[in-house]
Amino acid sequence: MGFQRARMYSHTVLAAVLVITLMMQGTSASASATVRTSMVSTIWTEPASGYGFILEAINHARTSVELSMYELSDTAIELALIDRAQSGVSVKVILNADYEGKSENEAAFDALRAGSVHVVWAPDNQIFHAKYMVVDDTAYIGTGNFVPHDYSSTRDFWVADTQPSDVSAITATFKSDFNGAETTNQASGGLVWSPGSTNALVDLISLARQSLLIENEEMDSSPVEKALIAAAHRGVDVSIVMTKDAEWTVALGQLAASGVHVRLLGASQIYIHAKVICADCTPDAGTVFIGSENFSTSSLDYNRELGIITSTRGAVQAVRTTVDVDFAIGASPAPRK
């Protein structure tokens, strides 16, 4: 999870439907006129939803499964991938190797390889932090790793994208990465790839006119922080929810001093691993980013990451409702002395 800090969790469960099936007619926010978006068909909010939808998708694969994952230690998912591969489905997996990735993913790598899955290590010199999977003609893009001991205590989101151009772009990028080619990002709709995602996220923040709801695991990106402060100064209601961590104290203190509303969750509460931005979100409209990108220079400028920007109403509603709930149980940071 993130970069493997020792953490304690407790179970916090939203009183919400496990899976929200979205209205296919997306509704645009003020930002959507200039920020490219994609339609998504379904959103899952963790931990309430669980990861059964991933297993179901793999088990019903007809022709292909392509998975790029930062951390994989879910035996059920591994066995499902092996079963599909041994049933004649083309199953290809990229696992992160950098930043202790080989030690974290070695058991999964060995099991998949022994089970006839085509599995490769990502490059040793680049963190592959993306969390996505393409099954046949559907792409699943998320913020969470496949690590069972984190499932019940971690805030994450996943979406399904069935737009052919998006699925084709993700598949093309996966193929390039799988073959060890130089890093390339295939553009389509609201896909947000790293390396190079800073501008997309700053643009979304900068176009907000009424409100911004933010959840992220890290706060270590000067361009993002400046954009959030600028938004607060122009009258945008900016709210940020994170898990308390001394590493981000200075940055969050500067944001709070600039008019940003910051709420922090403690070690006994749900862990904020989600990476979302909800711009001008109301019950009926908004524009939301969901992806693997943390607010850090490494994540935005160097890592392999994938996110998506959408104005699909159900996705906006799910993120807005969830971040509001998390914000309500958070505490303000201690004032700077």
Instruction: Sketch out the chain's domains with CATH numbers.
Output: 38-190 (3.30.870.10), 198-329 (3.30.870.10)
What pLDDT does residue 34 have? Answer: 81
Q: In this structure, what are the phi and psi dihedrals at residue 50, rounded to the nearest 5 degrees?
A: 75, 175
Q: 3-state DSSP call for residue 227?
A: helix
Neighbours of 138 (CB within 10 A): 16
Neighbours of 86 (CB within 10 A): 12
184 contacts: CB under 8 Å, gap ≥ 6: 173, 176
Dig out the tokens for 123 from the structure.
């490059």
- Given a contact cutoff of 8 angstroms between Cβ atoms, the answer to whether 154 and 93 are in contact is no
What pLDDT does residue 151 have? Answer: 98
What pLDDT does residue 120 have? Answer: 98
Residue type, 212: L
- Given a contact cutoff of 8 angstroms between Cβ atoms, the answer to whether 31 and 204 are in contact is yes
- Given a contact cutoff of 8 angstroms between Cβ atoms, the answer to whether 155 and 182 are in contact is no
Bridge partners (DSSP) of residue 238 are 212
Which pTM value belongs to this model? 0.91
110-124 pLDDT per residue, tens: 999 999 999 999 999
1/86 Cα distance (integer angstroms): 30
Question: Is the C-alpha dihedral spanning 55, 321, 196, 303 positive or negative?
Answer: negative
13/15 Cα distance (integer angstroms): 6
| Surface-to-core class of residue 174, CB atoms within 10 Å of its CB (0-12 exposed, 13-18 middle, 19+ buried) | buried
Those residues of the chain that have pLDDT short of 70 are 1-33, 336-337
- Given a contact cutoff of 8 angstroms between Cβ atoms, the answer to whether 244 and 252 are in contact is no
| Surface-to-core class of residue 97, CB atoms within 10 Å of its CB (0-12 exposed, 13-18 middle, 19+ buried) | buried
- Given a contact cutoff of 8 angstroms between Cβ atoms, the answer to whether 68 and 136 are in contact is no
Q: Which alpha helices (DSSP H) does the chain contain, by range?
A: 52-59, 75-86, 101-114, 148-151, 164-178, 198-207, 222-233, 249-257, 297-301, 313-329
- Given a contact cutoff of 8 angstroms between Cβ atoms, the answer to whether 3 and 99 are in contact is yes
- Given a contact cutoff of 8 angstroms between Cβ atoms, the answer to whether 248 and 242 are in contact is yes
Q: Rg of the Cα trace of the chain?
A: 19
Residue 208 per-residue DSSP state: -
Bridge partners (DSSP) of residue 264 are 242, 331
- Short-list 129, 72, 120, CA closest to 306: 129
Dig out the tokens for 134 from the structure.
């393409």
Dig out the tokens for 329 from the structure.
């149980």
291 contacts: CB under 8 Å, gap ≥ 6: 141, 143, 192, 197, 275, 305, 306, 307, 308
